[in-house]
Structures are given as C-alpha cells and as structure tokens.
C-alpha cells in the first residue's frame, strides 16, 4: 500500500487532455514539494515535474503540475501515443523522514 | 550519467553490495538515493545519503538490513544489503537528489534476485 494514492489507470484519445491525481496527507504533500515521473516500458523513471509545477529543461509544456492542500495533479495536453507510460508522483514525508511515491498510474493513449 | 552495478542472484539471508558510479559530474556535492521496483510493481524509495555522507535515512522495510554509504574520492555511492529476503527481489536504481523527495537523474538500474 503506497503512502500516496493515484488512480491505477487512465486513458484518453490522441490530442485529448488527461489529468492524474495524487492524494496524500499534511506530512507529505501538504508540507513538501511534489514531483512527477514518467516511466516508459523497460526504462528508468524520468523527472517530468518538480517543485509542484516546474518543468526540467527539455520537458514540453504539454506537461503541467499543480498542488492544492494535500493533493497534486499532473496534466498532459495534446496527448501523443508516445505518452503511453506509467506516471508516478513523489514527495518527502516529514513525519516518516522518508521519500514516498504513489502507486503509479498507467496512461493508455487509445 | 549514473551507472549501477553489483546486482545478481543471491540466496535468502545472503548479502550483496550495489554500487552507483557517476560520470560527467562530481557526486560529492549532491545527496543521493536508492529506489527499487519489484517486478510489475511501483517505485519504492529505500534510502538517502547527504553529500557529505553525514546523514542517512531509510525506509522501514530495509532499516537495519541495508546501509547506504559513499566514497566521494571514487565518485561512488553504495548500498550494502544484508539479510536479503525473497521480497527484496527488484530492479534497484540510484538517483541523484534534487531536493528531498525529488530525483532529477536516475541510473539504468540493476536487477537483484533473491531466490533459493
């Protein structure tokens, strides 16, 4: 059971928009920055969003992040078939003194 | 670039030491973490070490069995894994820490299989 809660799967058609939610508590999302990772099959995770809503160099602005209270959301617009992957949210939990991840969301671009 | 090594097949109760070597940048200025992924499962954070090596943090699932340490002179971070269990079977990634709970660079992973 992951500390952060994500939906197991989401799907949408090419060109559409999708959002992935990540729910936590005051000790993690509520008091620390949230990051998002994309993991394509058979590869290592890749940082997509950091500090709740910032994109590393090279990440297209189709990807966006937001945070409100103890929840965070990853948004992807203009879906492409290559966006099909597993997406994970992560943060630090100040009570556990530990990093925590969501269980991951599998995005299918139909 | 981060490159893990040291994975392999080990019997339950055995030990293994994973290494994470950096190329293209100096590790000593950065905190580092280990994250694992069991087959078909999600990411699990395991451990964190500060740039100096002076502070470490562990997930409850590995506390007392795994030890993270670093040799900045060799530009390498290690994960010593003792008392291994079948449930420790996973791909182990080392990751550079951007800030607590955020990882900006990841290695390609090394597979650890614990089985008799």
Of the CA atoms within 13 Å of residue B23, those in its CB half-sphere come to 4
Residue B38's pLDDT is: 98
How far A7 CA sits from the closest chain B CA (Å)?
13
Q: Does A97 touch chain B (CB under 8 A)?
A: yes
Rounded to the nearest 5°, which phi and psi values hold at B65? -115, -35
- Of B35, B58, B100, nearest to A92 by CB-CB distance is B100
Of the CA atoms within 13 Å of residue A109, those in its CB half-sphere come to 16
Residue B15's pLDDT is: 98
pLDDT in tens, A33-89: 999 999 999 999 999 999 999 999 999 999 999 999 999 999 999 999 999 999 999
A-B Cβ pairs (cutoff 8 Å, strict): 75
Of the CA atoms within 13 Å of residue A72, those in its CB half-sphere come to 33
Mean pLDDT calculated for residue range A83-107:
97
Residue B107's pLDDT is: 97
Residue B66's pLDDT is: 98
pLDDT beyond 90 at A14: yes
B43 to chain A: which residues are within 8 Å by CB?
A: 37, 39, 45, 88, 90, 101, 104
Q: Which two tokens stand for residue A3?
A: 């500390």
Task: Give CA–CA dist B13/B5, Å, rounded.
Answer: 20
Residue A20's pLDDT is: 98
Task: Give CA–CA dist A88/A90, Å, rounded.
Answer: 7
Contact at CB, A47 and B43, closer than 8 angstroms: no
As beta bridge partners, residue A93 has: A98
Interacting residues of A69 by C-beta distance below 8 A, sequence separation 6+: A29, A30
Q: Which two tokens stand for residue B64?
A: 């007392």
Mean pLDDT calculated for residue range A84-104:
97
Q: Any idea what DSSP says for residue A65?
A: E
pLDDT beyond 90 at A107: yes
Q: What is the DSSP string of A78-109?
A: S--GGG-EEEEEEEEETTTTEEEEB--EEEEE
Q: Is A66 in a helix, a strand, or coil?
A: strand
CB burial of residue B29 (10 Å; 0-12, 13-18, 19+): exposed
Q: Does A2 touch chain B (CB under 8 A)?
A: yes
Residue A1's pLDDT is: 83
Residue A103's pLDDT is: 97
Strand B66-71 vs strand B76-81: parallel, antiparallel, or unpaired?
A: antiparallel
Task: Give CA–CA dist A49/A92, Å, rounded.
Answer: 15
Q: Which residues of chain B have pLDDT under 70?
A: none
């Amino acid at each position: 059971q992951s500390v952060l809660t994500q939906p197991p799967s989401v799907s949408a058609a090419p060109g559409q928009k999708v959002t992935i939610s990540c729910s936590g508590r005051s000790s993690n999302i509520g008091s620390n920055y949230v990051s998002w990772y994309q993991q394509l099959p058979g590869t290592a995770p890749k940082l997509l969003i950091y500090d709740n809503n910032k994109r590393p160099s090279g990440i297209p602005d189709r990807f966006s992040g937001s945070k409100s209270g103890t929840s965070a959301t990853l948004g992807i617009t203009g879906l492409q078939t290559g966006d099909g992957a597993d997406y994970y949210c992560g943060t630090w939990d100040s009570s556990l003194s530990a990093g925590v991840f969501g269980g991951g969301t599998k995005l299918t671009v139909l | 670039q981060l490159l893990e090594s040291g994975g392999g097949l080990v019997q339950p109760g055995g030990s293994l030491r994973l290494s994470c070597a950096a190329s293209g940048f100096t590790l000593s200025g950065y905190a580092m973490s280990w994250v694992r992924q069991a087959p078909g499962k999600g990411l699990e954070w395991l451990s964190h070490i500060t740039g100096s090596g002076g502070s470490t943090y562990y997930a409850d699932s590995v506390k007392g069995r795994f030890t993270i340490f670093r040799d900045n002179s060799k530009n390498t971070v290690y994960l010593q894994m003792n008392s291994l269990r079948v449930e420790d079977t996973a791909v182990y990634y080392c990751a550079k820490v951007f800030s607590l709970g955020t990882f900006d660079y990841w290695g390609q992973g090394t597979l650890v299989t614990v089985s008799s």
